[in-house]
Structure 1
């Protein structure tokens, strides 16, 4: 699909696998860009599934994330398993929870540090502690798309057991850093 829209990618659209988004600064400009993209679909015999088409929306769910002009947030409908989890009855349940929560790790500052007690639950004879990871996930920040014309800031922190990093950008003097992504990793004690 990238080859069909190669000359439009930088200026008015984003493509991800079999999905694309058309955008502009104003409604009228967006209509013009949409017209260009739809003409290209006709020229290349690209068929669109009308059930998957959403026109002129200000936000939408993509890949289990709520995407808008403000940035990217976790889709609250997809995290019920984390905010109100059933009492895990086995190591498999804990593994399932960690896998699901790990999908959202780039939204959660110090995810590995928060998840470390949960990871330790995979060891024998450990009590189950669940609340802190749940609370952090339900109050996630909005991640901002990068502005490629501004400098990036990488802030790192480490302890004996985890490494954490924040990729962000200073958008204005005296304003807080806009977070683009969080990263964290537990470290092997050996």
Structure 2
């Protein structure tokens, strides 16, 4: 329960959600473990062994009913193998993760109530796109491709809210 409250407070302060009094839509919230890294520890034979670290919980909504009623946005996502082919042979590269990438995209005011979810701290709706909506991946991919269109396939690859920057010259 503490993890849910922490996430709700974070979203409220960021302006991603707001309290809502009534809606015809109800989407259940659930908490799932989020693995956030790998570290190395000594096992009982004093050998170094990699283990996954669980640092926090992720609060997710079950949008199955909303997704079933949503018109699907068919937009082709990039092929990972083609992106990696463009990276091959480059001297420098860096992988970046867009911070709250999905939550940067505002939801039309008339559609926000459809994202509502009840929890012990109230009923909330998203003002910005959450995970779990069926069109979220295609929407963020299309936005990123428009924003970075002059760099994609030249020195940058974008897959949803993950970025791969690459170049042969460090000063480029």
Please give the range of the TM-score, normalised by the shorter of the 2 chains: under 0.3
Higher relative contact order (CA 8 A, sep 6+): 2
- TM-score, normalised with respect to structure 1: 0.20
Which structure has the highest strand share of the two? Answer: 2
Which structure has the highest helix share of the two? Answer: 1
- TM-score, normalised with respect to structure 2: 0.22
Larger radius of gyration: 1
